[in-house]
Structure 1
Amino acid sequence: MEAVHGGRGRWGFLPLNLRFKGSWFSLVKEVEKRQVNGKSFFDLLSAKVRNGLTVKFWSDNWVGLTVLKDRWPKLYCLEKDKQCVVADRLIWDGSMWRFTPNWKHGLSTVEEISEMQDVDFLLNNSSLSSEVDRWFWGEDGNEPMSVASVKKWIRKGTEVLRDHSMIWESWVPNKVNLFIWRAEMDRIPTKEALIRIHVNIQDDSCALCNSATENVMHLFTGCYFACGVWSAVGIWCDIGPVMAFDFIDLLHVQDQSHRGKWAQKIIRVIVYITCWVVWKLRNERIFQGANPKVVDAVARIKSWPFLWLKNRSKYTCIEWKDWGRNPLYML
């Protein structure tokens, strides 16, 4: 990034060349404008200088209350190497650490001389050591810098409470978890959703039953094909008829089981995979001209979670013949 966006006049907290748009440009602009409780990202980031090899002398927050390029703007203009590190400017002369500038020309104005006097005052007690520089985070400047701390700050004051019913299941493939998450928010490409974004769809009817407009609610709860699948799943799981009038209702089907935490987890995953299978069969119908059957859907619904549970959970000894009769037999 420094090779593309670096160079004189292109550095703030992060390198940015305004001529190049793209994801890095968007990221830098978002970081620069983000504020929580009146403090920006850069206000909360500070360095504890040790050997001075990784801390920028002018643009990093390492001494005083602000970056030195803002505290001494006239001297900063005189600097030849604006990306110099602290170790480039604090030099041991045999008796003490001295500020060693690299000016374009000597000091010539009252402002420059005044700022140089402030340099002598501020850096009077500064020194370097053989240890590695350290970065800290937070209003007090004593919390070690970490990705988790930055994420917490970004979310603070801006995170909107969302009443999601979907729970991420670790032993289920990410693509299935993501699909359910998107489906709950009506963010999967059903025909109705595609029409909303002006995609030319000649026929908006459900690909599996042709009885109504294809949207999330119909595809997973109102479609005749899906209803047949849910009926078979309810019998297999021994939880009675699966009654759902909206997609959110499907995400609470596990509440019908009173056999403990793992029983609810397994049923929840079976619900996830049922939705996934219905979606896959819908796509096969549209793009491959397949003629899906309920019995084929149920076969997939039984086999896929069996493999995931056996290989990704503590239930490594489950048997297919017993699982095929009831997925909660081992509980």
Structure 2
Amino acid sequence: MGLDLHPTLQYLHSTYSYNHGVTDLQLWQHILIKNSTGVQTQACILSSIAHKLALLHTILVTWISFKAVGGIQFLFWHHNWIGGYKLCDKFHRLYALESDKLCKLSDRLSINGWCWSWRRNIRSGAEAQQFSELSSTIDHVTLNDSSDKWVCTSFPKDTFSVSGFRRLFSRDVIGNCPTHWCKFIPPNINFFLWRARLNRLPDKCNLLERGVQSINLLCSSCSINVEDTTNIFFECEIAMQVWSYMSSWLDITLHVWHSMDGLMQWIMTVFQSRSKTITLEAICYGTLWTLWRYRNGRIFDPNKFKKCHIIDSIVLSSFDWLSARYKKVRLNWNDWLMNWNDWLMNPLNSL
């Protein structure tokens, strides 16, 4: 199989093969074969991972390249530094004549121009034709004293930025559901929201689609409707009561949403003030996170997270997120107590 096994694994492998009379190929097929219950196998998982890695590699190669500035780190013939190909592949006759096949780009280009080191003179015909084409290809190349560097060809001014990478990743990889990263809430909450938008949370409907049998499909929070992402966060009786309280607390009219995208679009358009939008984001996302935690608590530990704790958890977590992550808010203990009282009375104008 081309794998280097630890000596202990090699011993176990040989013992199992001898005792059961199977070949290496049969052994690996036994490990990777799909079982009778129809659950996805390791082979399928590995294939899926390999496909994603190949896609990511293709994208990174398209986005990022190494730019020859000083030519010190580039091999003239073997590195892909011009034209999208290796010169040794396209100009194979000239490469055969090269006396130093590992020469650097800086070795071939000096202040006086291009300098060559052939084993013999170039002959007419195919060799002369390739040399003419090579000369026209590299004629415009210039070097300086700077170091070679990585450049992001798909970014403005070839300069890497996290925000630019996220936009490209959303456009080229994720596609229909771009990322929405809110820096005023913890990273795990951002990942939770992304999974919710993709409908990848382990609610009961999704678990059933993935082969988890013998589960009650009724909502874990209210036991009335079928549990899916929309029901948990917007249509469940508990969720509607919580959103009604949030409307009274914020003193604004909340719409009736049926999707995560609808909620996020509403948050971005309801206020013109950036500080109010940030505050509303933290509160709404805290509400979603708390509803999910309450749902999980009803399943795994009903006595730990009670219904009466939902509102307090939303109020406290959203305030903690903003006071710790919003740069305009820097609180000492006295300010914290004062802002906390303001937060309870009027959260959209308190920070």
Paired residues for 1:129-168 under 5 Å: 130-133=145-148, 145-147=158-160, 162=176, 168=181
Deviation at 1:255, TM superposition (A): 8.2
Q: How many Å separate the matches in 1 of 2:182 and 2:116? A: 57
Deviation at 1:297, TM superposition (A): 0.7
1:244 to 238, 242, 256: 256
Partner of 1:230: 243
SS of 1:323's equivalent?
Answer: helix
Q: Contact conserved, 1:49 with 1:62, CA < 8 A, in 2?
A: no
The reply on whether 1:172 has 2:179 as its aligned counterpart is no
Paired residues for 1:64-143 under 5 Å: 67-76=86-95, 84-87=103-106, 98-100=115-117, 113-114=127-128, 118=132, 130-133=145-148
Deviation at 1:216, TM superposition (A): 1.1
Deviation at 1:215, TM superposition (A): 0.4
TM-score normalised by L of structure 1? 0.66
Number of aligned positions between the proteins: 294
Q: CA RMSD in A?
A: 4.8
Partner of 2:28: none
Partner of 2:37: none
Deviation at 1:86, TM superposition (A): 1.9
Q: How many Å separate the matches in 2 of 1:294 and 1:319? A: 26
Partner of 1:7: none
TM-score normalised by L of structure 2? 0.63
Deviation at 1:85, TM superposition (A): 2.5
Deviation at 1:300, TM superposition (A): 0.6
SS of 1:209's equivalent?
Answer: coil
Bigger shift: 245-254 or 320-329?
245-254
Deviation at 1:153, TM superposition (A): 11
Paired residues for 1:3-14 under 5 Å: none
Quickly say closer, same or farther: Cα 1:91–1:264, change in 2 above 3 A: closer
Give 2:88's aligned amino acid: K
Deviation at 1:299, TM superposition (A): 0.7
Q: Percent identity?
A: 25
Query: Can you list the C-alpha shifts for 1:263-307, whole angstroms capped at 9, x where unaligned?
Result: 343223211101100101211222234364332011111111111
Deviation at 1:186, TM superposition (A): 2.0
Q: Contact conserved, 1:251 with 1:271, CA < 8 A, in 2?
A: no
Give 1:326's aligned amino acid: N
2:73 to 43, 50, 54: 54
Partner of 1:315: 329
Paired residues for 1:169-248 under 5 Å: 169-239=182-252, 242-248=254-260
Partner of 1:328: 348
Give 2:116's aligned amino acid: F
Partner of 1:306: 319
Q: Contact conserved, 1:182 with 1:188, CA < 8 A, in 2?
A: yes
Bigger shift: 300-309 or 192-201?
192-201
Partner of 1:281: 294
Partner of 1:294: 307
SS of 1:319's equivalent?
Answer: helix
Unaligned runs of 5+ in 2: 1-46
Deviation at 1:202, TM superposition (A): 1.7
Q: How many Å separate the matches in 1 of 2:104 and 2:247? A: 67
Quickly say closer, same or farther: Cα 1:24–1:127, change in 2 above 3 A: farther
Quickly say closer, same or farther: Cα 1:55–1:186, change in 2 above 3 A: same
Q: Contact conserved, 1:204 with 1:214, CA < 8 A, in 2?
A: yes
Give 1:304's aligned amino acid: S
Q: Contact conserved, 1:72 with 1:115, CA < 8 A, in 2?
A: no
Q: How many Å separate the matches in 2 of 1:24 and 1:81? A: 37
Q: Contact conserved, 2:93 with 2:127, CA < 8 A, in 1?
A: no
Give 1:323's aligned amino acid: W
Quickly say closer, same or farther: Cα 1:261–1:279, change in 2 above 3 A: same
Query: Can you list the C-alpha shifts for 1:169-216, whole angstroms capped at 9, x where unaligned?
Result: 321112223322332332222111121222335212211111121101
Quickly say closer, same or farther: Cα 1:276–1:201, change in 2 above 3 A: farther
